[in-house]
Amino acid sequence: MTVETSTDMGGSAANVEDSNSGFGTIIIGAGQAGLSAAHHLLRKGLKPFEDFVVLDANDGPGGAWRHRWDTLTFDRAHGLHPLPGMALGTPDPKEPASAVVARYYGSYEDHFGIPVVRPFKIRRVEGSLVDGFTVTAVDGRSLSAKTVINATGTWDKPYWPAYPGQREFTGRQLHTHDFVSPEEFLGKRVLVVGGGTSAAQFLLQFSALGIDTLWSTRRPPEWRTAPLDKAWGIGVEAEVNERTHSGLPPRSVVSVTGLPLTDFYTAGIESGVLVSRGGIDSIGERSVHFADGSEEEIDVILWATGFRASLDHLAPLGLREHGGGIVMDTDSVSVLKVPGLFLVGYGASASTVGATRAGRAAAAGAAGLLNEREAVAVPA
């Protein structure tokens, strides 16, 4: 295996030429979960660019955070759990979260010598623990590994719900994934659809600029007043894990956690901005018909309807059950159907704190399998 980088290990450009040797582990994704897994592989003695490598589809560090809009400042990002071995520090709360996280992740990669190759966008993963896995990029590059830790998150898989008449709407439709700035909606009447924190933050940003808004949620918003303590977090993780251990698809984050009833949101409720009109029945050419029988003229529909796990590249491995979920082992990172494949950032590990712990568990699982294979390969 030969590796050439234009700068350092975490450089923005890299070229990997495959050979028959392959890697012990390939990590797909350099976000919170992927970097955590890489850190723990290093601690277990695996050598960067020899025993393992991290493949990242982005042009630079930051994972999905680097794509977030500038008006999402760090104080509105609901916290970022630190990566293992390096404190985040105290960022300027008014700095864009995208800049804070990109800088932090980049410093982390440099400090620990994380072997990131980017950009390397994956098309498919094939193989097995017995025969080895083959990871193929969209440009045709191909790498082999004995184990794979998938840390691709959700950003590349925005969820768009379907409603009657949606295709006939002549106004603009966009998803959170494609949002850039609230200023582009000045003078427009905007319907924000979705019950999560992004939807609530969009509405408050628009209102501050005098933009006319409406809010649609399928169910009444669930505002949470309980503190974000350890016991609460354990309960949330247990609820999510119960589904993934049974092979059911993970539920949306907000359906499990609810919306935090902060002073910021309380003011929005009192002003009438954060009051839902309820669900949508159908969509007209320039209007929306709500489930309560009312109709409103709309210029823009912003679908803040969340994301699904970005796992299309794993389709050749046949992971999905009939209901669309994946059966996870009791460690919540090992895929029962495909030994040697670990999913981090899936299910309960979709949060930054969960992703950090999942990275550690996946690294332990991958290193354990590699040690077992090495022991078998060496004659007694």
The predicted structure's pLDDT at residue 11: 38
Q: Distance between CA atoms of 370 and 368, rounded to whole angstroms?
A: 5
Which residues, including other chains, have CB under 8 Å from residue 371's CB and lie 6 or more apart? none
For residue 7, give Cα distances in angstroms to 15, 46, 110: 11, 22, 11
CATH code: domain 166-222+258-303 is 3.50.50.60
Report the candidate in 54, 61, 124, 32 with the shortest Cα–Cα distance to residue 311: 124
- Supply the pLDDT for residue 5: 37
pLDDT of residue 287: 97
φ/ψ of 72, rounded to 5, equals -85, 90
In this predicted structure, what is the pLDDT of residue 230? 56
Query: Distance (Å, rounded) from C-alpha 127 to C-alpha 160?
Result: 31
Calculate ∠ Cα 282-283-287, nearest 5°: 130
Higher-scoring residue by pLDDT: 142, 249: 142
- For residues 356 and 144, the answer to whether their CB atoms sit within 8 Å is no
Flag the least confident range among 119-123, 173-177, 287-291, 373-377: 373-377
- Classify 4 as helix, strand or coil: strand
pLDDT tens track for 144-187? 999 999 999 889 999 999 999 999 999 999 999 999 999 999 99
Q: Which whole number is the average pLDDT over 260-278?
A: 91
HEC letters along 308-362 = CCCCHHHHHHCCCCCCCCCCECCCCCEECCCCCEEECCCHHHHCHHHHHHHHHHH
Over residues 282-304, the mean pLDDT reads 97
Least confident of 2-11, 159-168, 243-252, 354-363: 2-11
> Do 2-156+308-377 and 166-222+258-303 agree at the fold level?
yes
Report the amino acid identity of residue 350: A
Per residue in 189-241, pLDDT (tens digit) is: 999 999 988 999 999 999 999 999 999 999 999 888 766 555 656 666 667 76
69-111 pLDDT tens trace: 888 888 777 667 889 999 988 888 888 889 999 999 999 999 9
pLDDT of 253 reads: 62
Sorted by where each begins, the domain ranges of the chain are 2-156+308-377, 166-222+258-303
Among 380, 365, 378, 367, smallest CA distance to 335 is for 365
The pLDDT-based confidence of 351 (bands split at 50, 70, 90) is low
Question: Does 353 score more than 70 pLDDT?
Answer: no
- Reported confidence tier of residue 6, pLDDT bands at 50, 70, 90: very low
Fold for the domain defined by 2-156+308-377: FAD/NAD(P)-binding domain (3.50.50)
Output the pLDDT for position 92: 85
Beta bridge partners of 16: 3
Quote the pLDDT of residue 89.
86
Higher pLDDT, 379 or 48: 48
Question: What confidence category does residue 116 fall into, taking pLDDT thresholds of 50, 70 and 90?
Answer: very high
The conformation of residue 350, written as its DSSP 8-state character, comes to G
Radius of gyration (Cα) for the chain, nearest Å?
22
Contact between residue 285 and residue 170 where contact means Cβ atoms under 8 Å apart: yes
> Is 60 exceeded by the pLDDT of residue 265?
yes
**Which band of pLDDT confidence, cut at 50, 70 and 90, is reported for residue 349?**
low
- Average confidence score pLDDT of the chain: 86
Rounded Cα distance between 311 and 324, Å, is: 11
